[in-house]
Chains A and B, each alone.
Chain A
Amino acid sequence: MSDETRHPVEPESVRALRLGHGANCSSIGSVVDTLFVTALLGGAVFAAVMGALAKEPVEIVGGKEKDVQPRAPRSEDQVHDESAP
């Protein structure tokens, strides 16, 4: 992947945002802060995440990179998947 093929991620593309590290070893946890806190606090968190998405280098895990081809962005319909968040 090159910088030329990378563009800003639109906020609408974020289907779910799980905050924190979740250090419990017996059950999976979810931070609930953003369900209740003010839009100002939630907005700051979201802005930090969007900033990270724009800047951090990408490392693909859990799959073979040869299966993956860099390409320019294009629009596509949402995909239904029962395991999706």
Chain B
Amino acid sequence: MKLRFEPFGAWVKLESTAAVVALDRAGVRALGLDGGAHWEEGAPRTAPIEVHLAVTQKCGAGCEGCYLDATPDGVEPPRDVMLARLDALRDAGVMTVAFGGGEPITREDLGLLADEARARGLTPVLTTSGLGLSPAKVARLKSFAQVNVSYDGASEDYARVRGFDGARAAESAIALLVTSGIRVGVNVVLTRSTLDALPATLRRARAFGASEAQLLRYKPAGRAASLDYLARRLSPEQVACFGSTLRALTEEHAPTGFSIRIDCSMVPFLAGDAALYAAPEALVRAGIFGCEGGQALASVKVDGRVAPCSFVESTALDASALVSGHEHDPELAAWRDFQAKAPEPCASCALAHVCKGGCKAVSRFVDGVHGPDPECPRVRAHRAALSVSASAS
């Protein structure tokens, strides 16, 4: 296991089981260790445990909602630059590095970079559209602990999200990776028009051999940062039922070993589920992460700059300075501070310490501020009540 000391104890990444555990100090001491200076008052804040590393800006898919606005002639950093970034992640104690892009498989040296990540003690994982994935390329991907294939459903649903039908290529990629012994997940972007097909999409992904589905909220970044976002995002009614949707999906798939995963931006939707809202500690124990920008998550963009997440602008911090700069960068600090200074209704929310205000990429686009997620059910209700109150007075 890999252990990184934290003020609360330590993060532990297990090797024999795919899991990361937050241990308190007593648990760390049971392992025969003491945090020493890491547990003293005023010890430096640690770096993220997961980093999303853009290895290229090239992509020929042309998805309508690409959050990076990737193009076929995008920038691709040289190998030595990527290796230096992997060095920086190792030195910072990062545990998981998620390779993304652009389309990562356009890099000829992708497998080598994954090998190099392993050699540095990092767990490399990968996201791909699957377009152009050949058996020869798959053979070079064995070092990845998991590969996620973007898969928004059968042909019509896929096309509704991305503007072209890449479903068959994605399905072929899933099957090819599984046959090669690589664990595969699917990334499913949820939009207003495709949510109803989600149960069928997941059954289909499982039939092709996928082991996990990562549900992703459609976000207003890159080419998706347009008025069209307002028509594509989930409706308030769909958001209100999201807890029930998850419950039904999990009850169907978990007994088969197929996992359901939600992204950080969907955690505020759980506030609309009475049972989940009443059990915030259950969410903590389950390791649910809300907005972790400036904390457990960081993104390193193709230019090497660190961002709180992949959907927002970079900070001035270069990845090479992650180990020393993560604590002091003012933008990252502002993201961390949100929770302590959160306005209502986040301030009184039982899930605030898990959700951390919801998706700032959405609040910045919709409200123009780094504030509470405007699509959270509690935020909607709060604003509706304020509106009624203002009208009455």
Contact = CB atoms under 8 A, between A and B. Distances in A.
Given A1-B32, A71-B32, A84-B8, A32 B92 contact: no
B100 A26 contact: yes
A35 B283 contact: yes
A68 B246 contact: no
B230 interface: no
A33 B260 contact: yes
Contacts of B45: 83
Interface of A: 1-2, 4-10, 12-37, 41, 48-49, 52-53, 55-63, 67-76, 78-79, 81-85
Which size bracket describes the interface of B in this complex? 35 or more
Contacts, number: 311
Nearest to A83: B295
Interface of B: 1-9, 12, 14-39, 45-47, 50, 52-54, 67, 90-96, 98-101, 104, 121, 123, 125-127, 144-148, 183, 185, 187, 212, 214, 216-217, 219, 246-247, 250-251, 254-255, 259-265, 267, 276, 282-289, 292, 295-297, 309-311, 323, 336, 339-340
Closest 7 pairs between A and B when the two form their complex, measured CB to CB: A62-B93, A25-B100, A13-B27, A18-B287, A5-B32, A23-B125, A84-B8
Given A27-B265, A32-B288, A33-B254, A71 B29 contact: yes
A9 B30 contact: yes
By secondary structure, the B interface counts as mixed
Contacts of B147: 23
Given A18-B21, A71-B32, A85-B284, 14 more contacts: A8-B30, A9-B30, A18-B287, A22-B96, A25-B54, A26-B310, A30-B261, A33-B259, A35-B276, A41-B254, A53-B12, A59-B121, A60-B4, A68-B5
